[in-house]
Amino acid sequence: MAKCALHPGRPPAAAILGKDYCRQCQLGILEARGWVHKHVQPKDCFVWYEGNDSWLPIDGTGCAHWVAHQMNIRAGGKGEQCLAGLTFRVKTLVSGRPRCSSPSLVRVNYIWASPAMDHVGIVVKVADPPKPGDPPKITIRHDSSAQGRVADNDFATYFKGRGIFFR
Amino acid sequence: MAILVACAYCACSPAAPSATHANTVAVYLDGAERQSETDLQRREIQRALHDMLEKSPAELRQVRYADYSGEVGRWSVTELLRHYFVPRAGVALDERRFFEEFREPAARAVIQRQLDAVNRTLQ
């Protein structure tokens, strides 16, 4: 017999993202979804259980969460995954991935992380440099809290040419 | 709001406090991952952490910080923390207990560590 994924003593009221939840969880999840910040994508799964029948949006900017959904990265344990099972921490997202040693070796779909590993995105375009010998022109797509949307930005200008690329 | 030191994914509870679970702010910030995109955001985080070390509860309650886009006066200190820091597990940050406990030594040590980290990033 089905039970709430978090409260085995309670009957399920709804299936949400593949799991059964009781009435209290269902209402908590629905309410928390409404509080997720406007730039976060996707929104429906960016909520977590905080105990005592309380559901809230996951803390942080959601940058790693967006990358995880684009690349189907499910690393980490329960406290590191959204309701859909995708990673939402930068360090967990890139953990174990080999680093790219030079911007000239960067390819589309590599993950970019800021030098402090506090922001992350995906390489969506690598164009030849205007002058031979210069680094390629790299475009990063990222869930941008500062711009309020998923945005494409130039690595050299917006990100000041700094950061780490992961394969 | 959930009990502030009740972790959703482990057995931690106010009834069984450990050294690191005794203080709301320490529980929340210890090992939390800072997520921030721009230096403008990082400077606002820096300001908030510095205020947590310097201001009284009454003073800190009055301060408002810029939001993600840089619009000033939008977030309280606890709102700022929740927008930028991902704690190690689903841990609620109770407003009342936050202002009672952020000046305790356990909290100040963790605040200082997070402040040191953002200072290094901004260098």
Element spanning A86, H or E: none
* Angstrom distance (rounded) from CA A50 to CA B25: 16
A61 to B85: CB separation less than 8 angstroms, yes or no: no
Domain span at residue B65 reads: 24-122
In tens, the pLDDT along A119-148 reads: 999 999 999 988 888 889 999 999 999 999
Give the model's pLDDT for residue A131: 85
| B14-50 pLDDT per residue, tens | 333 444 457 999 999 999 999 999 999 999 999 999 9
Q: Domain tally for chain B?
A: 1
Q: Does residue B1 fall inside a structural domain?
A: no
Q: Say if A161 falls within a structural domain.
A: yes
Tell whether A41 is covered by a domain: no
Q: What is the pLDDT of residues A25-50, one digit of tens each?
A: 999 999 999 999 999 999 999 999 98
A79–B88 CB contact, under 8 Å = yes
Angle, vertex CA A139, rays to CA A138 and CA A140, nearest 5 = 120
Q: What is the ipTM of this complex?
A: 0.92
Q: Which two tokens stand for residue A68?
A: 């995880």
- The pLDDT score that the predictor gives to residue B89 is 77
CB A91 within 8 A of CB A119: no
Distance CA A18, CA B43 (A): 40
Contact yes or no for B36 and A61 at CB 8 A: yes
B56-92 pLDDT tens trace: 999 999 999 999 999 999 999 999 999 999 998 777 7
A79 close contact with B: CB closer than 8 A:
yes
Domain membership of residue A143 (yes or no) is yes
Distance of CA A70 to the CA centre of its chain: 8
- Quote the pLDDT of residue B18: 44
Burial, A93: exposed, middle or buried (Cβ in 10 Å; 0-12, 13-18, 19+)?
A: buried
Count the domains in chain A.
1
Chain segment A53-96, per-residue pLDDT in tens? 999 999 999 999 999 999 999 999 878 999 999 999 999 999 99
- State the count of interchain CB pairs (< 8 A) between A and B: 98
* Predicted pLDDT at B88: 87
How do A47-49 and A19-21 pair as beta strands? unpaired
